[in-house]
């Protein structure tokens, strides 16, 4: 009789639970995507801030170092870096908006990420181009870039491949190599 009293509540409890295995798998995939998105967001924010710092400090060497070895070794790349720094006449940074998500892709083999790229953007960059006691001049830019985060087949491709910067509604400048043609 005691066994029956113990079994009845357990049977009632189990029969009232609606266990949906498909939902369980969906929740696991959602958590995996959240982790990937979070990791990607942190990486994008850091790289975008590194690019912004290069602009703010007019640092050609640091900007050069962000690019992959394959792009850095192209003829006239140092000239492109100089043109990029000159294109942005930044006396100081005023404000920026970084979009922390991006289009991109990855390859996974045997459970290991072997390739991973993103194409993020800094949607808005406001810089002071000239200032004196009475006048402040601003320029507004948007920046798009291609970043190969991982490439196990060719480590020389890891890093930035290009930056496209646009002086909003006026002109743009492209440096690097577009891997898509």
Domain ranges of the chain: 22-176
Is the overall model pTM greater than 0.85, yes or no?
A: no
pLDDT score at 29: 52
Half-sphere exposure of 169 (CA within 13 A, CB side): 2
CB within 8 Å of 154: residues ≥ 6 apart: 70
Starting at the earlier edge strand, list the strands of the sheet with 92-109: 92-109, 112-131, 136-151, 159-167, 171-176
DSSP 113: E
The b/e string for 161-177 (b: 16+ C-beta within 10 A; e otherwise) is bbbbbbbeeeeebebbb
pLDDT number for residue 37: 57
Residue 141, burial from CB neighbour count under 10 angstroms (0-12, 13-18, 19+): buried
Q: Among the CATH numbers 3.90.1410.10, 3.30.230.10, 3.10.450.50, 3.40.50.970, which is that of 22-176?
A: 3.10.450.50
Tell me if residue 170 falls in helix, strand or coil: coil
**Digits of tens for pLDDT over the chain (181 positions)?**
555 455 555 554 555 455 555 555 555 555 555 555 578 999 999 999 999 999 989 999 999 999 999 999 999 999 999 999 989 877 777 778 888 878 899 999 998 999 999 999 999 888 887 766 677 788 889 999 999 999 999 999 999 999 999 988 788 888 888 776 5
* DSSP at 67: B
Of 116, 126, 120, 91, nearest to 103 (Cα)?
120
Predicted pLDDT at 34: 52
pLDDT of residue 100: 80
First and final CA of the chain: distance in angstroms? 78
């Amino acid at each position: 009789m005691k066994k029956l009293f113990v079994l009845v509540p357990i049977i009632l409890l189990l029969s009232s639970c609606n266990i949906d295995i498909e939902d369980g798998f969906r929740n696991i995939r959602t958590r995996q995507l959240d982790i990937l998105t979070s990791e990607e967001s942190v990486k994008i924010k850091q790289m975008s801030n590194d690019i912004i710092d290069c602009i703010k400090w007019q640092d050609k060497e640091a900007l050069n170092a962000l690019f992959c070895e394959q792009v850095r070794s192209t003829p006239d790349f140092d000239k492109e870096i100089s043109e990029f720094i000159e294109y942005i006449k930044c006396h100081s940074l005023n404000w920026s908006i970084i979009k922390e998500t991006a289009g991109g892709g990855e390859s996974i083999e045997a459970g290991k990420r072997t390739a991973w790229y993103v194409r993020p953007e800094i949607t808005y960059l406001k810089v002071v181009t000239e200032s004196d006691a009475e006048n402040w001049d601003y320029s507004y830019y948007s920046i798009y870039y291609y970043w190969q985060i991982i490439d196990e087949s060719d480590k020389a491709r890891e890093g930035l491949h290009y930056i496209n910067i646009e002086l909003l509604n006026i002109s743009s400048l492209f440096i690097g190599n577009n891997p898509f043609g």
